[in-house]
Chain A
């Protein structure tokens, strides 16, 4: 394998590992703020039980995200120097603003959020929780601005092969940014919803009927049930936006070779890029036209439009997009059914049943699967471009010996595999341990600034302890 391919695999491995953790911390930060605010309001210790359990998962996920994020920032230089040399004038300020407005905020207030509950007032601790959640979201904002700009670049001009910014407003609010940002933030919400529901279901199966566990379970399922329809809508709008700006990506996602009307929605097929056709097609006639153009006679672009006169293929590889997209959508529909049935159970009967718990446990990681599948769809879908129409991936890569890239790739993969295993086993162990530990009020938590309604506290006392 050559250095380009190895560098791409290495970057894909790093970003795939990295993205798993911000996907959790962005929404989990807000969920922690919610638990904290509910406690401030009601004085119900069950909310703090939920807070203190999930803050541990947050801390672990945050550390994993931070350390793998640092790897990303160095990799621009070690493996892709052409990226910053060519579009650094635009990517640079966006990354700098991420560090300045997000990284420090998260990192400094994380310490107070994790370890400060007995050192600062409830108000300051709540503020710290808010600032951490806000920081993670700001971080996502800047990164998605840059990523979206790489998909739909505008607001710049090329001078001597180097991009120069001409309109920062156009760069930040580039055409795909709002769609991508919403899609990713909802993905984070769904990932956390199912993680929380899944781990709570695990505790439920281990016999944990504490109120804090129930609150987390109910919150997770409700979050999932509310967010998934929004995500399906946002995904559809994002798809239409992609169709407008990167039709070749949509053509590959649909596995559609010829431009025309009444294009079927393929449920299954195996795209064959050599023969430029699909095998084993199974589809709904006119379905793709209906979804993409909202008209069965709508003309949908095909992959054959993206082959140059000399035969150079200008569209992304078809197979990975075709399958990754279907995995994402499939997981999305599973999320829809499971969260609706689960939420219905919990609001109707006040509890889940064993089959539901057994379904929820593996669904804890469904958000990760969908996020990765979605990420591959959009990122591989930009190939062969690094910045759409501006910079080819092959022109940005460092002139490194393939063996150098290969050695570091193997080292990173070993570290990542070890860490993922450790992470999963630790959060499962944390959940099981929490399920077996009798709840007791943590001593000395600073409640200055909290004025809970006494009647409410009294009313909840007694049934608050599991």
Chain B
């Protein structure tokens, strides 16, 4: 049996950690951004309630992005440089979007009433910019950072679909955190966005194997296609279940109010697993593998030690914070 080599395994451990960080980010900040995208559809009181449904959490949620980029930066410095210089403009759009979104929370709560609508607009614009930029980057990434016109068109489609996916999970979070008319509206928003989510996932699922023969073989060869079949089947099943459930919501006694959120989180996770399978072992699709891009073993080891201790602690206190602010959202106040 081959000897267990840390130097060989560390890069894959870090790739997995990075994947987890991205997935957690997409689910958690996804609902923050989604609520920002949905905010223009709500009236003023509802806007305040929507913001209070994410107010105590958004900052911690966003930190998962910093962790993901941080891990890319520290574990795969070469890939970090290649990816981010290629995606120079969408990254700038993402950052400006995140800046506007993040400060809008604070400003809208502190400015005078006549200035509040402009910060509400900033909240919407920032959230939408960030979501579109992320989707656009995802679109280019799945095509191997190709920047030809068809690729750009495809990326634009993914951008819209990801924004819709965020809107859907944002609406699902609102179903969990609110009641009354806002909850009823959230159900409508969820159903309205689901079609685009499905379209986006279908588009990526079709485009990736078509764009690369390697990915084609990974999915459609035998026995892979058989082993992988549960992924698309489960995804479709969750979609159908969510569609039928949301058609009857809100249920008697607010039953299953967290179910749409859980279903969407599951759909995101399945989609993510599919992408991971398509791209493994590459960190830059078709160009740089995980092993080639990795930092020095001793540097990765020293981060891993800290990560193994700290990550459970972070997870623990994050869950605790969610529990403190559990239940239906109430107005946020400092005192």
- In the complex, the answer to whether A67 meets B102 with C-beta atoms within 8 Å is yes
Kindly list 4 other residue pairs between chains A and B, CB separation below 8 angstroms, not including A81-B81, A168-B302: A104-B314, A411-B92, A411-B96, A412-B96
Per CB-CB distance, the 7 closest pairs between chain A and chain B, nearest first, are A81-B81, A92-B74, A77-B84, A111-B56, A442-B335, A88-B77, A84-B77
CB of A232 within 8 Å of the partner chain: no
B62 CB within 8 Å of chain A? yes
Residues in chain B near residue A55, CB distance under 8 A: 334
Q: Does B310 contact A (CB under 8 A)?
A: yes
Q: Are A96 and B70 in contact, CB atoms less than 8 angstroms apart?
A: yes
B105 touches A63 (CB 8 A): yes
Partner of B73, one of A69, A76, A108, A164: A76
**B295 in the interface (beta carbon within 8 A):** yes
Main secondary structure of the interface of B (DSSP, over half): helix
0 or 1 for each of B84-98: is its CB under 8 Å from A? (1 = yes): 110011011011101
Main secondary structure of the interface of A (DSSP, over half): helix
The distance in angstroms between the C-alpha atoms of A60 and B70, with both chains bound, is 24
B60 and A111 contact, CB distance less than 8 A: yes
User: Is the C-beta of B12 less than 8 angstroms from some C-beta in chain A?
Assistant: no
A68 at the interface (CB under 8 A from B): yes
Instruction: Indicate whether A93 sits within 8 Å of B303 (C-beta atoms), given known contacts A73-B66, A107-B62, A442-B335.
Output: yes
Q: How far is the CB of B52 from chain A (nearest CB, A)?
A: 8
Which partner residue on chain B sits nearest A427 by CB separation?
B110
Which one of B59, B88, B299 contacts A78 once the chains associate, using CB atoms below 8 Å? B88
| A422-438 interface bits toward B, Cβ cutoff 8 Å, 1 = contact, 0 = none | 10001001100000000
A100 within 8 A of B: yes
8 Å CB interface, A421-465 against B: 422, 426, 429-430, 442, 445
Asked if residues A103 and B63 are in contact (CB atoms below 8 Å), the reply is yes
- Closest-by-CB residue of A relative to B103 is A63
How distant is A415 from chain B, measured CB to nearest CB, in Å? Answer: 6
Q: State the CA gap A54–B62 with chains docked (Å).
A: 24
Whether a CB of chain A sits under 8 angstroms from the CB of B186 is: no
Most chain B beta carbons < 10 A, residue from A69, A78, A101, A422 = A78
Q: Which of B250-265 contact A (CB under 8 A)?
A: none
Shortest beta-carbon distance, A410 to chain B, in Å?
11
7 A-B pairs with C-beta separation under 8 A? A62-B59, A77-B91, A100-B307, A108-B317, A164-B298, A400-B88, A408-B88
Interface pair A111/B55, CB less than 8 Å apart: yes
On whether the beta carbons of B100 and A415 are closer than 8 Å, the reply is yes
Chain B residues with CB under 8 A of A164: 296, 298-299
Residues of B near A96 (CB, < 8 A) are 70-71, 74, 303, 306-307
Question: Which B residues are CB-close (under 8 A) to A398?
Answer: 81, 85
Bound CA span A111–B74, Å: 28
A458 to chain B: closest CB distance in Å? Answer: 23
Contact with A along B134-166 (1 / 0, CB 8 A): 000000000000000000000000000000000
Known: A112-B321, A411-B96. A117 touches B335 (CB 8 A): yes
Q: Which of A59-108 contact B (CB under 8 A)?
A: 59-60, 62-64, 66-71, 73-74, 76-78, 81-82, 84-85, 88-93, 95-97, 99-101, 103-105, 107-108
A-B contact count (CB 8 A): 214
A88 pairs with B295, CB closer than 8 A: yes
Interface string of B45-66 (1 = CB under 8 A from A): 0000000000111011011011
- Interface residue B333 (Cβ < 8 Å from any Cβ of A): yes
A residues near B317, Cβ cutoff 8 Å: 104-105, 108-109
| A436 to B106 alpha-carbon distance, docked (Å) | 21
Docked pose: A91 CA to B103 CA in angstroms: 28
Q: Is residue B288 contacting chain A, with contact meaning CB distance below 8 A? A: no
Q: Are A99 and B107 in contact (CB under 8 A)?
A: no
- Given A68-B99, A70-B62, A411-B96, the answer on whether A117 and B77 have CB atoms closer than 8 Å is no
* Residue in chain A with minimal CB distance to B111: A426
Q: Is B176 an interface residue (CB 8 A)?
A: no
> B98's contact among A67, A81, A104, A408, by CB below 8 Å, is which?
A67
Closest B-chain residue to A49, C-beta based? B335
Could you say which of A107, A164, A419, A426 has the most chain B C-beta atoms within 10 Å of its C-beta?
A107
- In the complex, what distance in Å separates the CA atom of A69 from the CA atom of B84? 17
CB B196 to nearest CB in A, in angstroms, measures 27
| B75, B299, B325: most-surrounded residue (chain A CB, <10 A) | B299
Q: Which of B55, B59, B83, B89 contacts A66 (CB 8 A)?
A: B59
Check B324–A70 contact: CB distance below 8 A. no
Chain A positions within 8 Å of B324 at CB level: 112, 116, 119-120
> Contact at B296–A85, with CB atoms within 8 Å?
no
CB–CB B106/A116 < 8 A: no
With a cutoff of 8 Å between Cβ atoms, the chain B residues found around residue A114 in the complex are 55-56, 332, 334
Name the one of A60, A90, A107, A119 contacting B325, with C-beta atoms under 8 angstroms: A119
Does A300 touch B at the CB level, under 8 Å?
Answer: no
